[in-house]
A and B are shown apart, each in its own frame.
Chain A
Amino acid sequence: MPELAGLGTLTRFLLRRDRVRSLVWVASLGLLVWVSAVSVEGLYPTQADLDAAAAASRDNAAAIAFNGPDQGLDTLGGQVAFQVSSFGLIVTALMGIFMVGRETRGEEEDGRLELVRSLPVGRHATTAAVLLVVAGMSVAVGVVVTLGVLTIGLPTAGCLALGAGFTAVGLVFAAVTLVAAQVTENTRVAYGIGGAVLGASFVLRAAGDVGDGTLSWLSPIGWAQKLRPFAGERWWPLVLPLVATVALVALAVVLAARRDVGAGLVPPRPGPARIADGWARPLGLALRLQRGSVVWWSLGLLLMGVAYGSVAQDVEDFVGDNEAVQDMIARAGGVSLTDAYLGTSLLMLALVGSGFTVAAVLRLRSEETNLRAEPILATRVSRPRWVASHLVVAVVGSAVVMVAGGFGLGLSYGLASDDLGQVGRLVGASLPWVPAMWLLAAVALLLFGAVPRATGVAWAVLAGCFVVGLLAEALKLPAAVRDLSPFEHIPELPAASLSVLPIAVVSAVAAAVAVAGFVAFGRRDVG
């Protein structure tokens, strides 16, 4: 097929280029699932333990909303799927989004695609090569997940269903991002569209699983869980992701044929010939470069907060006269279950919002490697002033993003419970998390200043905070490891009472690390 000429060579080239990156994705997903499975096995050694766990989860709307539907929870396999699949599926979706985004629109935006397309390769060959590689990665993730849960002796059919769900999610989000990459000229926007679809999938699934399950059928993550691993597997829902993938790829092919290389579907418009006064300074420039990011992340967290808040009311209803849960509340010192749920929701919002924080600081590095820092630093702008411009955006933006999340949470819970006082209460409760986000900003800044080639480690640190925040119980992490995450030290308002000391300590550490970052950057070579 002439449209696909050169596919083999391009695929091999891509595998060569991304061999480390793809291995890291697949291996860390495999490891995550395997470690979680092993620790769940250790957590519930007897059937009585499993029954108790099932009873506790079944009546806990928060757990259902975060993890997945109530299916097979009194079996070891069902618990494993419940504990790992939600988080694991989100990471798999991110793999599809980032891999396809960078290798299609990213390559195009940087002008490298043009060079490749001038060679005797088919119009769709580069895209097909990316799809082949990412589909291969998705299958590989499915295989390592399946093998991982097989090693603890779970039933084969369930292991296969769990793995197949991971593969399906990887495929669907690869295809979603492929469409997004045709619509926009900007790689970041393509990531944003992929992320928005992922957010919507998570919210639909959460709402569906807490409700009667119907909405979950609209979500790719839901499709994976509808395979019912370890809970009477059924295979026909696999048709849904496969059809969706094929349809989205076909749409992308049609869209791609309608546009020029380098262009999006939306044509560029002329802009102002002179700069407005406010933008013509470092802080103005940083704000202008990052305002889209602040707006979209705020909107994303607002919607996420709305989704969490909308089910908060159900948490109380779930409790009913369940003794286990009442015991739990009593042990927690009479805290209302709703408040505990809202506190956990704010933790989730803070963790997700930290994605903005890290990205905002690492903008410094991409400005540097794209040679846009150099001409700025060749003017009267000092290094600290340039770094501060983006750091201010990250610091203030983190607060904005987090407050947007708290506002969404309060608004939808307030509307559901006829108590709009919740808006102020939850916006207030969201603020203590901001210093923890700042600490991540400071860590990213220190990496940028001291080891600029390793700024990616900042994402690993955030991933570590996610693991501690979401999987600490399942993984039985020792306290010393948990304490490494700044989020562990923040009081989970509104359930906990406000204690200022830990917040002040986290803030002080953030400030000290940030200063070290400034000093390190002042001493190193730029470029």
Chain B
Amino acid sequence: MTRSALLLVVLLVGAACTATPAPRESLTVLADEELRVLEPLWADLTRDTGVELRFDYRGTVAASADASDGHDLVWPSTDRFLALRRAQPPLSTSIMLSPLVLGVRPGVAARFGAQPSWAELASAAGRGELRYGMTDPRRSGSGLIALVGVATAAAGTGAALTPADVRCDKLQSFLAGRAFTAPDLDALRGRLSEVDGVAVSEAVAAQAGLDVVYPRDGIVLADFPLMLRKAERRSGYDRVVAWLRGPGPQRRIMETGHYRPVNPDVPRTGALAGGVGTALYFPGAQEVLDALLAAYDRAGTPSRVVFVLDHSRSMAGERLDALHRAFDVLAHSGGFDQFHLGETITVVRFAGQVLDERSTTITSRADLDAVTSGSADLADHTAVYSALDHAYRTYPGATVVLLTDGENNAGLDREAFRAAWPIPPRTYAIRLGDADPAELAELTRASGGRVVDATPGSLGEAVEEIRGCR
């Protein structure tokens, strides 16, 4: 038996030396869709290793969700989603690296400065100055990672995101700039001309000839682990991994796809040699991602804030200035807290009765300026409760912000108001001058809001509260 087996070995070796080797092993691979770009390498891989790879492509999030999938190997952009499900296959080897970035069309990057923060990008998106596309975060790794990046920066804790951090709607100003969500990468590539930028890996951005913006406060690295799902395919897997991590293929992966080599002996060239800012701590629980996706689904749901502004005669002079300053802070808070595209702002001016009201759905910065630069004519009396009653009835579901300096002396009285609105919609009251704090406190407490002092610090906090973020 020994002899015949050795003879077989010799024969096989002899045959292999004289003929072009056909693939002797075929492995099926479920790979992230962006790995299509590496297809030119596979003929050489097969020639050198005898292993043929047969690819199916899917978004990394979708591929991570299906642990019972039948492929021999899995090659996602990151194993973070699998790790959250504690579903990592036994063997996993990183092949190359690429941070998630914003790829922007030439000339766009200059709008943001060298290394903008996510808050600055969200602000630009909220104002309509950055329109971008992304891939579906329920399927694509880059889509979901973009949400994690923005939300982590918005939370501003310097720590991994927790479910509590996601409950607020800070994501919304960033999502307001979203022009479309593409079902997959090919669809995204097909619509590049419609937008200023796309949330993709650095490699995909470079492949498309886009400039790369590295948000300085929230980089996530994709490390493209090649994973063995079927233990009996180990030998083929080992050969493929050894080949992919060799200096030659690593260089070709870099040149073909603009990925950063994982092999430290292969120097990064060109734009890949630069630094990439600060990484974020990635959340450690699946429920965080679920909360994020829920926030993502809420995007585009119309939201409205109604400002009820006291224009009684006692507001003349300094108090009116204070009102305008306070209103300016509320309306123009930057970053994640600002009003954003698609949001509707209503301004109701009142004295002894409602004087006028104007609404706008924000489509640009100019809309916001137009609605907030209201007229300054003043009238007699102060009908606080009537004005609120009007706002509640006309704009159900809105958050109401009252700015007043005085006591109610016209229209509905307190008892009638209380009878009509035992639990009023959420209302914040910004106190100017002599307004009675006790009365305002009672009114707002029942609504779940509160009284806010007209100092910039308090107003800033109030804006965050109005956004549900405190």
Partners in one complex: no
